[in-house]
Structure 1
Amino acid sequence: MDRLTNTIRPYAWGSTTAIPHLLGAEPTGEPQAEMWMGAHPGAPSRIDRGAGEQALSDVIAADPEGELGAATVARFGPRLPFLLKVLAAGAPLSLQVHPDLAQAKAGFEDEERRGIPIDAAHRNYKDPSHKPEMLCALTPFEGLCGFRPPLHSAELLEGLGVGSLKPYADLLRAHPEDAALREVLTAVLTADREEMARTVAEAAAAAERLGGPYAPYAHLVHEHPGDPGVIAAMLLNHFRLQPGEAVFLGAGVPHAYIDGLGVELLANSDNVLRAGLTPKHVDVPELLKIVKFESGDPHVLRPEGDGEEVYEAPIDEFRLSRFLLAPGAASRVLPADAPQILLCTAGSPRASELPLAPGESVFVPAGEKAELSGTGTVFRATVVV
């Protein structure tokens, strides 16, 4: 079992206080957006087995079956299939979708064939993997997820009383769901930028005046004035999670996190297609290939089980569960059939002989016994084999 040293990513949308508060550290004044735990090449965790720190990705590459187990390697290949994060949104993230596995492989191979550098700003596919993800709230958490039914979006847009939004509302009413959502999102993202900036400004003023269901969208425009993603976001469901609740996001589902601290578990990928609320590259034609143009309410997940509380999700690359360790309770011996990362978010539990404080984590190779004891909250990330 190895204690992890993790990288904190300083993206501009990150909270300046949430991750330091979790870690019991003084804020630096700079945004701290994500703490990565795992073996993603972009920011692998580091471990020390007595010969100095090594990247977890290098340790796994040197002995995949020894670290991950034969079953994991046979099913997912010689790399850790998941990435665990603590995510701290102090401002809205970009409006985005992720590809499915076939789309990611095809897109990656195409960009490789065309010689686009992996770190190029206009590169869409960083790897050939899909990126389903789950976000579990540690504090009240707010976001956008999935399309509203077109008629509901039409009513929302009409309620703002902005004349330049009427054509979009008319389209939403005039066509079947798939065509309506596709036509309106395409129209919004390809509109003349000056005209759209005026529309966004008028919509934001109306949203601030009206409040209520419009309040989240008024907040967006403060961070991204003139961005067509503000109007695109009005096509999506707004959701709020209470601590311990989670959402699962599959391929093609448009979403954006707005505010809050959470534990995020995702397939080990960094493939993102953006639709707005960002200064980064937006590839509208490629985005439209990936988006699923279907409505649906965000499905809020609550953990199930006695002892180990599991967040059920239709994915095998990762499995998220939570332990609420009470004073005087018996220790919990964890299955050893797959690799796992354990993250403490509260209290002072122990992982076998290692004491954990909030924000600390450990990597447990497949085949190694792990036992949780003490008091506090521990999240467990592993795979389904």
Structure 2
Amino acid sequence: MDRLSNTVRPYAWGSTTAIPEFLGTPPTGEPQAELWMGAHPGAPSTLVRDGGERALTDVIAADPEGELGPETVRAFGPRLPFLLKLLAAASPLSLQVHPDLAQAREGFADEEARGVPVNAPERNYKDANHKPELICALTDFDGLCGFRRAREAAELLAALDVDALKPYVDILRASPESDALREVLTAVLTADPDEIADTVTRAASAAARLAGGADGAGNHAYAVCTSLAEHYPGDPGVIAAMLLNHVRLRPGEALYLGAGVPHAYLSGLGVEIMANSDNVLRCGLTPKHVDVPELLRIVRFEPGEPAVLRPLPGPGAEERYEVPIDEFRLSRFVFDPADPTDSAGPFAPRPLESRTPQILLCTEGRVVLHAADGAEPELALERGQSAYVRAGERVTATGDGTLFRATVAV
């Protein structure tokens, strides 16, 4: 067991208060968007080994099989295949999608062959990996995820009564759903910049009037439109967002975001886990590069309600968020000594054995980790503190709080 020291990333959309309050540290006045826990080369966690502080990347590189386990190395190579984050959004992130594994490999190889510098602003693929991700809410958490039904999007746009949007309404009402969504998104993202900026302004003004109406899906959609236009005036992503589902997660609920699903986080605090990749293709709500042809190749135009995940009970009182990939698994343990329904007993230790590496994050109260053989001193985690456990280590946990567990499923 190793206590981790982690880096906070100060992206502009981050909250100035949420992460400091969570960690019990004074705010700096600057945005604090993400706390990274893992071995991403951009900001690896550090730990104390052999009397000195070392980056987790270096620890793993020195003994990949000993740290990750042979199964993880065979499946994903000599690196930790996931990155765990604490994410605090005070304003909307960019509207984006991620490629699947085959698309990432193809896109990365193409840009490498064409000599596009990896740090170039027009570069789409920073690596050859996919980037599925899961966000689990710690507070109420708002986001956009996947396409609405085409007719629902048509009604929302029609109610705005903006002349420039009426051709989109007709397409959404008349064409097959997937074709209609593709055609409208393409038209929005390739429109004349001045014309679409004027359309966004008019749409936002109409949405502001409609947002105060009766509660319901339309109300939320218009409120989101108004907010996005305030943060990104004139951005075509404001109209694109009207095609997407608005989702509000309650604490403990989660969203899994697979390849090709357009999404954007809007506000809230959550635990996020993802495959260790930087591949992002943006649709809007950003001053960064938007590669429309490549984006349209990646997006999956599949309308429908997003599936909100709730943890499923597992052995040893572990609650698991089921996802269809192997790079990561996220689960949690809720320790409540006052819970009379706890069949394991309110103070029973929870086993955390795994053949793969683990990162453990305390999000509430206090949790104590114990080496199962008693050879090491116990390690106490308060809210916001985390630990790394190498593959094969036998650990148990007790306490009065909530512990999130990130590991590999191989």
Q: TM-score range by the shorter chain?
A: over 0.9
C-alpha displacement at 1:131, in angstroms?
A: 0.4
1:1-385 alignment, distance < 5 Å: 1-211=1-211, 212-213=219-220, 214-305=222-313, 307-327=317-337, 328-352=346-370, 353-385=378-410
Q: Deviation per CA, 1:113-167: give whole Å up to 9, x if none.
A: 1222211111111111000000000000000000001111111100111111101
C-alpha displacement at 1:300, in angstroms?
A: 0.5
CA distance in 1, matches of 2:265, 2:137: 11
More displaced 10-residue stretch of structure 1: 153-162 or 173-182: 173-182
C-alpha displacement at 1:338, in angstroms?
A: 0.8
Q: Deviation per CA, 1:344-384: give whole Å up to 9, x if none.
A: 11101112211111111111000111111111110000011
C-alpha displacement at 1:177, in angstroms?
A: 1.6
Q: Secondary structure at the match of 1:367?
A: coil
CA distance in 2, matches of 1:350, 1:281: 45
CA distance in 1, matches of 2:151, 2:172: 6
Question: So what's the TM-score if we normalise by structure 2?
Answer: 0.92
Q: Secondary structure at the match of 2:80?
A: coil
Amino acid in the other structure paired with 1:374: G
Q: Secondary structure at the match of 2:351?
A: strand
Amino acid in the other structure paired with 2:169: A
CA distance in 1, matches of 2:48, 2:127: 28
CA distance in 2, matches of 1:242, 1:220: 22
C-alpha displacement at 1:2, in angstroms?
A: 1.1
CA distance in 2, matches of 1:356, 1:174: 57
Q: Deviation per CA, 1:69-126: give whole Å up to 9, x if none.
A: 0111111211111110001000000000000000001111111112222111111111
Q: Secondary structure at the match of 1:374?
A: strand
CA distance in 2, matches of 1:296, 1:145: 10
Amino acid in the other structure paired with 1:164: A
C-alpha displacement at 1:51, in angstroms?
A: 3.8
C-alpha displacement at 1:336, in angstroms?
A: 2.4
Q: Deviation per CA, 1:307-360: give whole Å up to 9, x if none.
A: 100011111111010100122421111122111100011101112211111111
Structure 1 residue runs of 5 or longer lacking an equivalent are none
CA distance in 1, matches of 2:164, 2:39: 47
Amino acid in the other structure paired with 1:264: E
Q: Give 4+ residue runs of structure 1 displaced > 6 Å after superposition.
A: none
CA RMSD of aligned residues (A): 0.9
CA distance in 1, matches of 2:228, 2:207: 10
Question: So what's the TM-score if we normalise by structure 1?
Answer: 0.98
Number of positions where the alignment pairs a residue of Structure 1 with one of Structure 2:
385
CA distance in 2, matches of 1:369, 1:16: 38
Structure 2 residue runs of 5 or longer lacking an equivalent are 212-218, 338-345, 371-377
